[in-house]
């Protein structure tokens, strides 16, 4: 019976930790799929998010509108991704028209976490067009880094770092 040459034995032993590391990295990426879906939903959201402070200045102004206003408590330690990324509903569309289309390309670059807290990097391109297909606004390949933490089994964003 021939034994495995020493070089092949060492290569086999080294291959096991590499495979384990690759599986862990893949698991980290897959574990943040729910957060990527939530980000995508935030971009397509047509609600208008306003801080409670702004709402309380003149609540009657918001009751008159045909828009759906949602108030949230501003907390720099816990940013609201819907308030930040709802491009269509967030007051960025000048004519308050709901007759717009949002084209989004959202790409996760990498996620690194210990399944409890960590960081995710992604980039997005978003284009908002009117009913005739004319570009109202757009951004291309905007890199974003988010600090994330799992709370009750779901990822929450604790900080957003974005450079246009």
pLDDT of residue 78: 84
Reported as a single tens digit per residue, the pLDDT across 81-111 is 988 888 766 555 545 555 778 899 999 999 9
| Structural domains in the chain, sorted by start | 32-162 (3.10.450)
Q: What is the CA radius of gyration of the chain?
A: 22
Residue 41 to residue 99: CA distance in whole angstroms = 18
- Angstrom distances, CA of residue 6 to CA of 1, 3, 88, 108: 15, 9, 63, 41
pLDDT of residue 116: 96
Reported as a single tens digit per residue, the pLDDT across 110-135 is 999 999 999 999 999 999 888 888 99
């Amino acid at each position: 019976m021939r034994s495995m040459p020493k070089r092949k034995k060492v290569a086999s032993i080294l291959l096991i930790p590499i495979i384990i590391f690759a599986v862990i990295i893949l698991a980290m990426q897959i574990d943040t799929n729910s957060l990527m879906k939530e980000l995508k939903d935030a971009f397509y959201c047509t609600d208008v998010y306003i801080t409670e402070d702004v709402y309380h200045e003149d609540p009657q102004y918001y009751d008159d509108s045909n828009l759906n206003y949602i108030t949230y408590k501003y907390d720099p330690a816990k940013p609201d991704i819907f308030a930040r990324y709802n491009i269509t509903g967030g007051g960025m569309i000048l004519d308050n028209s709901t007759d717009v289309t949002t084209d989004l390309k959202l790409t996760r670059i990498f996620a690194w976490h210990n399944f409890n807290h960590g960081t995710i990097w992604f980039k997005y391109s978003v284009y908002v067009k009117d009913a005739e297909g004319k570009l109202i606004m757009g951004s291309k390949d905007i890199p974003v880094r988010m600090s994330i933490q799992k709370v009750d089994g779901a990822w929450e964003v604790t900080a957003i770092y974005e450079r246009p």
